[in-house]
Structures are given as C-alpha cells and as structure tokens.
Amino acid sequence: MEVRANLVPDNSGYKKVMFDSLILLPYRDADLSTVLSQISTIFIKSYSPGSLATTSFRGTPANHTQVEWNGISLSNPMLGQSDLSQIPVSAFDEIEVLYGAAGLTKTSGAFGGVVNLVTNPDWNNRIHASLAQTVASFDNYTTGLGFIAGTSSFQSHTRLNFTSTLNNFPYYDDFTMETVTQHNAAVLQYGITEEAFLKIGDKHLLTGRVWYSYDDRDVPPVVAGSSTYYPQKMLNKTLRSILEYKLVEKLWNFSFKTALINQFMNYRNDSMKINNDHIYYSWFNSARFTYSRVKNLTIKPGLDYTFDDVKSDAYAGIKTRNTLGLYLEVSYIFNSHIKSRMILREDYLDGKFMPFIPTLGLEYKPFNKINLYLNANASRNYRYPSLNDLYWDQWGNPNLNPEFDKGIDGGITFNYPSANGSFFVETAASGYYSWMHDMIVWNPLIANPSIWRPQNISEVNARGVEVSMNLKWKISKLQITSANNYTFCRSTYEKTTLAEDQSLGKQLIYIPENTFNGTLSLNCWNFIAGYNLSFVDNRYTSSDNQTYMPRYVLSNIILGKSFFLHTFVVSLQLKVNNVFNVDYQSVKNWPMPGRNYALTVKFEFKR
C-alpha cells in the first residue's frame, strides 16, 4: 500500500495539504462539509443537516475560502461563497488545501485559503467499475456509480451520484420542551461527471470535464416555538465544463484552460411572496507558461480572464463583471537548502486596475538527510465585493472598495519514513498573523434602520496556530493510521464607527478559538476499524462576547470489511456518527442529529 503524506512540505514557503482518495474513502457518501470538519483544520459552520454549511478558514469569514473544482471556482459570484453541504465527496478524487497566501497561485481574494477538489488520471488503469449503495438513518439513501476505463494514453472517468434524504431526525425542542422530529429538511440531489484525459505522444495532454448537478431542498425553519411552518424551497441546477490543454517540453511548458459555468437557482417562499430566479454564467480562462531554461530558476507568467454575467430577480437588470488577471510566479532554488517563490498578481476589474498583490515565500531545509523544512511567507491580498454586495436591489452599494489583507505565515514540517517503509510519521506546526482592512459588513443605516447596506467599515485581526501529526505504522498484517489536527485561532474585531460598540478586541462570532480532530484507524486482513473525534470549543454568538455556544466533542466510528473474489471486490462499511448521542447545536436554535448510522455496500470490478 502506498504510504502517502498529507502535508506537502516541498512548497517553497507556502502551506499545502493533500487529502488523497484513500483518506477520503470512508467519506464517499458524505458532503464536503462533513469531511472537512472531521479531517481538516478548516472550521465548518453547519446550520443543520441539509442546510447551509460554510467555512471559516484561519479566522476569516466564509467568503474568504474559495472552493474550486480542478482549478475553477465553485463559489457563486453573487454571494462570493460556497455552500459545502451541496458538494458531494463522490464527485472528485482528492482535496488540495492551500493555506492563506498559497491560494494566490489559484486566485486573489481568498484570505483564508483555497480548497481545490481534484481528479487526476491513473494511466495504468484499464477498467474500474464500482457501485456503492448507502442506507443511512433519517431516510437517507445514497447511490454512487463509477466507471473508469482507458488505455495508457486515454482515460475516461464517468461518475453518477444520487442522494435522497428526509433528514427527519428527532431532536429536543427547547421551546416546547419535548422531543420532536425535524421536518421540511428533505434533500434530493444528483449529479453526473464525465472527465476524459487524452495523451498525444509525450508532450500533449488534453483534458475535458463536464459536471452537471441538480439539488432540490426544503429549507427547514429555525427552532422558535412556532406552530406554523411556511414552506421554503431552494433549487440549484449547475452545469460546469472545463477544457484544458497542456504542452510539456523539456525546458518549458504551456497550459491553457477554459471553463464555462452556468447555474440556475430558485428560492421560493410563498408566505413572503418570494419566488426569485437567479441565473449566472461564468466564463473562466487561464493560460500559464513555464520557463525553466536558466538553472535553478523557473519563471511562470500567466494571464487569467473571467467574465461573470448575472440575471437575478434581486438585481435591477443584468449585471456583468470582467476580470483580467496578470500573473507572474518566479521560483528560485538558491541551493539544496533554500528555495524561494514569489507570486505577483495584478487584476484589471471592469476597466480599473486593482491594487497590486505581491507575495514572497521561502523554504529552508537545514539538513540533507533529515526531512525538516522551515517555511515562511509574507503577502498582500485583495478581495473584490460580491455582486450581491454591489447590486442587491435597493440595498447593494456600488461604491464598495475591495477588502485588503496583509499577512505573514510560517511553519515547520518534519517527516520520517523508516527505511523499510513500515513506519512513517509527519508533523507540522504553523502560525499566521493577518490584518484585514475595509472588511465589508452589512449594517443598518443610522438614518433608516430598516435599510441595511454593505459598507467597508470593519477591520479584523486574525492570528493562530495549526499543529498536525500523522502516523502510519505497519506491524505485520496490521496497519495503524492516525491523523490529528489542532488549531488555535484568535480573530478579533478591530474597528467600529458606533458609539456603544463593545466588540473591539473581541472574538468574531461563530469562530472557535480551539478545535481538534483526530482519526485513528486499524487495518488488518481487509478489515478496517476507525475512530474519529472532533472537538469544537466555545463559539461566541454576540460580537461583544457576552453569549456563546458551549464546546462539544463528537465521536464517529467506522467499521469495514472487504472481500476479494478474483477481480471483484465487495466491501461493507458501517458508520456510527455521534456515537455518544451528544445533544448539541453548531448554530443557535438549529437542531443537530443524535447518534445515527450509515451502512454502505460497494461492488467493484477492477482489471
């Protein structure tokens, strides 16, 4: 079995973590919010199963994490953020997490970082067909179908996923003071992805990807002691396609990517007489040229162009945005110990030059034979207002400025693979300090509190520490794997225009100071037993830090067994989530399920 590290130390001063397909295997029936909250250092704010789940990465608000699919943004340009509960893990192979300034290789504006969902071809594969069926608590049925076939020069990945759930879990209602069943939380979701990879000779690689997804969900109400429920529904239909060409020469290479995204969204609330359609098109283009003729020096200039077009019932007329990005990446290897990488970005947005974005990273490897790396970088970053911030009917503010971040981060990574490959340990510690200016906040107007308007008023200071320790240990037939993450994050309000504001120096709401998650799995005779624990510390619910959601610990257990019959594999997997039946809430008055189960049967054919 391939032992693959989580942490990517060799990244010239920038922090990057990979979660490969093996790590994601037990989460194939889940959505992205579940997997990130259980195995990454990104904090997930999840309202309730089937409801909105957003990120807080390194103490930043949700719109500062960019989620991408093979390098193209999944964030809706209207909101500037993604709902992770709508992204099924079965739609991709691996997750690449780029921390802070590392995200600048992909995009500007993600102060927290970038989460990139990746699928790459395995040229050795011939046929790999799979069918997985999950039956879980609360009428949750998930089916995954995969067909991957090809030759050494052509590979095709076809995947289908289907989920239907009622989320009718019991919870204790604090208002009626009795246990009731969650209602109006049903989700119907399906998707199909087709990805084709064609290698022409040794130099040309052509990739085409298409992903269609359909997501229809009821929006459950907040628990508020109401006997009346007004139905709310949300429908999303999204088509994403990418065409990519890569030319690889000995001393230079070139890549070009073009992508088209179309999303239709409908929000319906009959009692409020709202039935709004939002349609957007995004056309994304990126060209990169890599030149490495000069020894130890790699120069990578690039050009990005994005066109967004939104037709929304909430906007007056069609709104568009043109973003042209100039990109330059220069990597220089000083010697076997020191590497550096500089990234420069200059965006030209709707006819206006945006502030210049520079960043510099350094990596130092003090010893030849010890895998110890020291990393540091300093960066500046800008995020442009979302289209809702600018154009939301009556309330948007077209005069908003970009948000601005100055930050430094640094860390140390160490790994030790034993000579015979039976033992591997890696550990990393990193720290960051970031000061965000001109943060956009929607506030009521003093002249008319019934109107809220986004304004560049806030400043946020985020600083923190991340510590990870991963272990793989093979003892005869038994393999022990453990992955652990601890984060400390202090993210505070630093500016106000209000006379009585008590939030200065106080922690941002719904961002915990401490989180921990750990996974321990034992693998023996094709039997797997895994245990996952996550701890989330107190999160304040008021910006003056006078009220808080208390800390909680959740435990999950996974048991699985695979049977090999020639080229067939039959796997069984049982997950027990929230083993100790903890009655908790992640967001005030949004119920969470107690102990629940998921049973998966998977048939695979591989040749």
Partner 1 sequence: MSLNVKDIKNKIIHTVLPGSRLLSFICILLLLLAGCSKDPIREKPVDPPSPPPPPGDTTRVTYKHGIFIINEGNYSWANASVTYIDNSTDSVYQDIYQSANNHGLGDVAQSMKIMGNKGFIIVNNSNRIEVVSLTDFKTITSITGFDSPRYLEFVDSSKAYVTNMKKNISVVDLKSMTVVRTIPTPYWTENLLHYGQFMFVTCIGSFNEPSADRKAQVYIIDTRTDMITDSILMGKEPVSITVDRKDKIWVICSGGYDNFEAPTLKRIDPQLMVVDKSFTFPVQQGVPSRLCINPTGDTLYFINGGVFQMPANATELPASPLIPANGHLFYGLGIHPVSGQVYVSDAVNYVQSGYIFKCSQSNGQVIETYKAGRIPGSFCFTSSSAK
d(CA 56, CA 515): 12
* Long-range residue pairs from 347-351, CB within 8 A, at least 24 positions apart, any chain: 347/108, 347/323, 347/382, 347/384, 348/323, 348/324, 349/321, 349/322, 349/323, 349/324, 349/384, 350/321, 350/322, 350/323, 351/322
- Residue among 255 and 503 whose Cβ is closer to partner 1: 503
Query: With binding defined as CB under 8 A, does residue 565 bind partner 1?
Result: no
- Residue among 208 and 518 whose Cβ is closer to partner 1: 518
Pick one of 201, 449, 565, 566: the residue that binds partner 1 (CB under 8 A): 449
- Residue among 368 and 448 whose Cβ is closer to partner 1: 448
d(CA 56, CA 464): 13
Query: With binding defined as CB under 8 A, does residue 478 bind partner 1?
Result: yes
Q: What is the CB-side half-sphere exposure of residue 275 using CA atoms within 13 A? A: 3
Task: List, as one string, the DSSP characters of 472-488.
Answer: EEEETTEEEEEEEEEEE
Taking the complex as a whole, how short is the minimal distance between the CB of residue 423 and partner 1, in angstroms?
11
561 Cβ contact list (under 8 Å, min separation 6): 526, 527, 528, 571, 572
Contact present, 117 and 68 (Cβ < 8 Å): yes
- Residue among 237 and 490 whose Cβ is closer to partner 1: 490
Task: Identify the DSSP state of 74.
Answer: -
Taking the complex as a whole, how short is the minimal distance between the CB of residue 410 and partner 1, in angstroms?
31
3-state secondary structure 370-419: CEEEEEEEEEEEEECCCHHHHHECCCCCCCCCCEEEEEEEEEEEEEEECC
Contacts with partner 1 by CB under 8 A: the residue count is 66
Query: With binding defined as CB under 8 A, does residue 450 bind partner 1?
Result: yes
Q: Which of residues 568-587 bind partner 1 (CB under 8 A)?
A: 579-585
420 Cβ contact list (under 8 Å, min separation 6): none
Query: With binding defined as CB under 8 A, does residue 233 bind partner 1?
Result: no
Taking the complex as a whole, how short is the minimal distance between the CB of residue 522 and partner 1, in angstroms?
9
**Centroid of chain to Cα 512:** 18
Taking the complex as a whole, how short is the minimal distance between the CB of residue 182 and partner 1, in angstroms?
15
- Residue among 13 and 221 whose Cβ is closer to partner 1: 221
- Residue among 443 and 461 whose Cβ is closer to partner 1: 443
- Residue among 362 and 390 whose Cβ is closer to partner 1: 390
Contact present, 76 and 60 (Cβ < 8 Å): no
Taking the complex as a whole, how short is the minimal distance between the CB of residue 395 and partner 1, in angstroms?
9
Taking the complex as a whole, how short is the minimal distance between the CB of residue 393 and partner 1, in angstroms?
8
Pick one of 369, 476, 565, 566: the residue that binds partner 1 (CB under 8 A): 476
Query: With binding defined as CB under 8 A, does residue 498 bind partner 1?
Result: yes
Pick one of 285, 397, 543, 562: the residue that binds partner 1 (CB under 8 A): 543
Query: With binding defined as CB under 8 A, does residue 399 bind partner 1?
Result: no
- Residue among 285 and 541 whose Cβ is closer to partner 1: 541
Name the one range near partner 1 by CB under 8 A: 173-181, 250-258, 343-351, 424-432.
Answer: 173-181
Residue 589: both structure tokens together: 């008055």
Query: With binding defined as CB under 8 A, does residue 295 bind partner 1?
Result: no
d(CA 426, CA 419): 15
Pick one of 124, 224, 368, 566: the residue that binds partner 1 (CB under 8 A): 224
Closest CA relative to residue 484, chosen from 513, 516, 523, 514: 516
Query: With binding defined as CB under 8 A, does residue 500 bind partner 1?
Result: yes
Q: What is the CB-side half-sphere exposure of residue 243 using CA atoms within 13 A? A: 3
Taking the complex as a whole, how short is the minimal distance between the CB of residue 33 and partner 1, in angstroms?
19
Pick one of 552, 561, 562, 576: the residue that binds partner 1 (CB under 8 A): 552
Query: With binding defined as CB under 8 A, does residue 555 bind partner 1?
Result: yes
Pick one of 180, 274, 504, 570: the residue that binds partner 1 (CB under 8 A): 274
Pick one of 143, 266, 397, 443: the residue that binds partner 1 (CB under 8 A): 443
- Residue among 137 and 545 whose Cβ is closer to partner 1: 545
Contact present, 41 and 464 (Cβ < 8 Å): no
Query: With binding defined as CB under 8 A, does residue 502 bind partner 1?
Result: yes
Burial of 178-198, coded b for 16+ CB within 10 Å and e otherwise, reads: eeeebebbbbebbbbbbbbbb
Pick one of 152, 153, 271, 526: the residue that binds partner 1 (CB under 8 A): 271
d(CA 116, CA 65): 10
Contact present, 263 and 310 (Cβ < 8 Å): no
Q: What is the CB-side half-sphere exposure of residue 403 using CA atoms within 13 A? A: 28
Strand stretches in 446-526, DSSP E: 448-475, 478-493, 514-524
- Residue among 60 and 481 whose Cβ is closer to partner 1: 481
- Residue among 67 and 509 whose Cβ is closer to partner 1: 509
One-letter amino acid at 264 equals: F
Taking the complex as a whole, how short is the minimal distance between the CB of residue 222 and partner 1, in angstroms?
5
Name the one range near partner 1 by CB under 8 A: 1-9, 379-387, 400-408, 535-543.
Answer: 535-543
- Residue among 300 and 539 whose Cβ is closer to partner 1: 539
Pick one of 496, 514, 569, 605: the residue that binds partner 1 (CB under 8 A): 496
d(CA 194, CA 501): 52
What residue ranges bind partner 1 (CB under 8 A)?
172, 174-175, 177, 221-228, 271-274, 394, 441, 443-444, 446-451, 475-478, 480, 496-503, 509, 520, 531, 533, 541-553, 555, 579-585, 588-589
